[in-house]
Amino acid sequence: MPHLTKQMLVDAAGAMPPYFDTHDLIAELQRSYPQQYARDLYRFVHHSDPFIGLHAEIGKRLRWVDSVQKTRKVRGPNVRGRISSCQQWRRTGP
């Protein structure tokens, strides 16, 4: 069961500018909920790359947050500072 709850995703998305990407949201989750983020990351300890496993799950779970809408794919720095592709989102609510 995920430690980063849907409400935490909603709150993190609410702290974002009107347009943001999944990398930005993940950075916000790390800042605001470090223990829950670490616990969720540990759930992927047997994955070849736990960060990729968790971050893919976060992106999938974000689709179920009513206050955001997918826009397009963008490229930007991930949590490791590498440029990679991710989803851009638009806030549709508070």
Question: What are the extents of the domains in the chain?
Answer: 6-91
50-75, pLDDT tens digit by residue? 999 999 999 999 999 999 999 999 99
pTM for the full predicted model? 0.93
* Full 3-state SS string of 21-86: EHHHHHHHHHHHCHHHHHHHHHCCCCCCCHHHHHHHHHHHHHCCCCCEEEEEEEEEECCCCCEEEE
Architecture of domain 6-91: Orthogonal Bundle (1.10)
pLDDT of 4 higher than 80? yes
- All residues at 6 or more sequence positions from 38 whose CB lies less than 8 Å from its CB, including other chains: none
One-letter amino acid identity for 67?
A: S
